[in-house]
Amino acid sequence: MPEELRKRWDSMKKRLLARKGEHWEVWTNWYDARLDPSRRIPCYSPPIPELERKRILLPEEVWEAGPATANAEIRRLIDEHDCARQSLRQAPAPYVFEEREGRIIAEPYRGEIHDPVLAEEMRAALCERAREVVELLRGKQVPGRVANTIERLVEVLGDSLQDVEPGRLLFVSRALEADLDAYDSEDGRQNLGEDGFAALRELALFTTDLRAQFQAITDMLARADAQKILEMGIDKAEEARQQMIDAVRQAPGEEIDKESVLPALTAANADIAEVREEHDATFDEERQANLRLKWAQLLSVDLLSHRNFMSRLVQKARAYAEAARKDVQDGKGGVRVALEKGAYATLIIGALSPIAGAMTGLTVAGLAGWSILKREADAILAEWEKGQGDDDERA
């Protein structure tokens, strides 16, 4: 809206709202919501179709009775709909707040645990490994901050799954990723040593795997990622997602069970297509904004499944890389031997390399968990290329 018209509207709005007992806010809010669809106004933006219909279908005699009567009836319809309660619903976050015995208390947002037995096994193993890594790093030139982060991880993991607060687990997982970023340089790796850096990277990955077991963390990340997808552009996120699906579809089947993996990676296709078609068919800007948000939310949840698949793919490739490294140490050949075996090459050339390329956009956008996976995939690919060169020199 041009600045001059904006000033006139603001002036008119003040005059209308000053007329006591006429409830002009039911119209000023309505119009403000249409001027700026991105602004959240309970019961107005995003619009509620049921309320819009009731507003339009008020009996003729109500309209004829004048603004005080008509606006009061609209106010009553809004109050009955209880928009305020819906707008006050707490969103997924590390903590939620409840009222007990007249007092507001904070509770960790836990949500569902997908596989409690597996999650407990992962928690116990991660806790044990974290204690080992703390001892490993004590003898190196590492700031106390890194050891403190790992010690906080041990504290967060507690003695059982019931002790784990998802929000705190997410916080410490982010701290581990930040420490890993800080030492992902030539000088940093030298300070930690290859064993220290590998151990820190292992902890970060395993912590990411554990947090995927908590629906509460999934909810929090999906909500945050939806906004990042809107910022990066839905089309770009769609393109990266499709590139990963295409890479899996074209990959040899020896290393990936495509009968189960592809349906999982494309499970959201129908829902995404439905929202996309509805978005492209409407010319209402408010409706388009709401549909874009829904579209981004669907993508954010779906991409968490893609991230889980990529995590497993990276772990599998890393196991092959470590086996090849051991072959070199034992004098049994290197990458060329692995190439002759077929499995390593199939995984690297047929799946990891093309999928890692598709991950770039998601990493730049800062979507949850992708940067550490991209860095790990790039390290494996670099080792593969270097190993091929070393084999050529030996040949």
pLDDT tens per residue across span 279-323:
888 887 777 887 888 888 888 878 877 877 777 777 777 777 777
Cα 22 from Cα 220, distance rounded (Å): 41
- Residue 137's Cβ-count burial label (10 Å; 0-12, 13-18, 19+) is buried
pLDDT tens per residue across span 322-337: 776 676 666 655 545 5
Please report the pLDDT score of residue 366 as a whole number. Answer: 64
- Hey, how many other C-beta atoms are within 10 angstroms of the C-beta on 187? 8
Cα 128 from Cα 61, distance rounded (Å): 74
DSSP-derived 3-state class of residue 40: coil
pLDDT of 209 strictly over 80: yes
Cα 57 from Cα 37, distance rounded (Å): 23
Confidence of residue 84 (pLDDT cuts 50, 70, 90): very low
| Whether 374 contacts 363, CB under 8 Å | yes
| Whether 176 contacts 106, CB under 8 Å | no
> Which tops the pLDDT comparison, 258 or 46?
258
Cα 320 from Cα 198, distance rounded (Å): 16
> Which tops the pLDDT comparison, 204 or 37?
204
Please report the pLDDT score of residue 154 as a whole number. Answer: 93
pLDDT of 240 strictly over 70: yes
| Boundaries of every domain in the chain | 3-87, 116-211, 223-394
For the segment 202-218, the average pLDDT, to the nearest whole number, is 86
Please report the pLDDT score of residue 275 as a whole number. Answer: 84
Please report the pLDDT score of residue 88 as a whole number. Answer: 44
Please report the pLDDT score of residue 85 as a whole number. Answer: 46
| HSE-up (13 A, CA, CB side) for residue 166 | 26
pLDDT of 138 strictly over 80: no
For the segment 374-383, the average pLDDT, to the nearest whole number, is 77
Please report the pLDDT score of residue 328 as a whole number. Answer: 61
Q: Cβ neighbours of residue 368 under 8 Å, at least 6 residues apart?
A: 221, 224, 225, 304, 307
pLDDT tens per residue across span 139-172: 676 667 788 889 999 999 999 988 898 888 888 8
For the segment 80-84, the average pLDDT, to the nearest whole number, is 61
Residue length of the chain: 395
- Average pLDDT in the chain: 77
Which span out of 75-79, 122-126, 348-352, 362-366 was modeled with the highest average pLDDT?
122-126
| Whether 102 contacts 113, CB under 8 Å | no
Q: Cβ neighbours of residue 380 under 8 Å, at least 6 residues apart?
A: 314, 317, 318, 321, 348, 352
Cα 43 from Cα 46, distance rounded (Å): 7
For the segment 377-393, the average pLDDT, to the nearest whole number, is 66
Please report the pLDDT score of residue 353 as a whole number. Answer: 74
Confidence of residue 377 (pLDDT cuts 50, 70, 90): confident
Instruction: Please tell me the least confidently modeled range out of 20-24, 59-63, 85-89, 303-307.
Output: 85-89
Containing 103, the helix (H) or strand (E) segment is strand 103-108
pLDDT tens per residue across span 167-192: 888 888 888 887 887 777 777 777 77
For the segment 18-46, the average pLDDT, to the nearest whole number, is 79
- The residue type of 177 is E
Instruction: Please tell me the least confidently modeled range out of 8-12, 15-19, 37-41, 387-391.
Output: 387-391
Confidence of residue 98 (pLDDT cuts 50, 70, 90): low
Please report the pLDDT score of residue 61 as a whole number. Answer: 92
Percent of the chain whose predicted confidence (pLDDT) is above 70: 76
CA nearest neighbour of 47 among 61, 62, 30: 30
DSSP-derived 3-state class of residue 90: coil
CA nearest neighbour of 16 among 6, 26, 7: 26
Confidence of residue 56 (pLDDT cuts 50, 70, 90): confident
Please report the pLDDT score of residue 120 as a whole number. Answer: 93
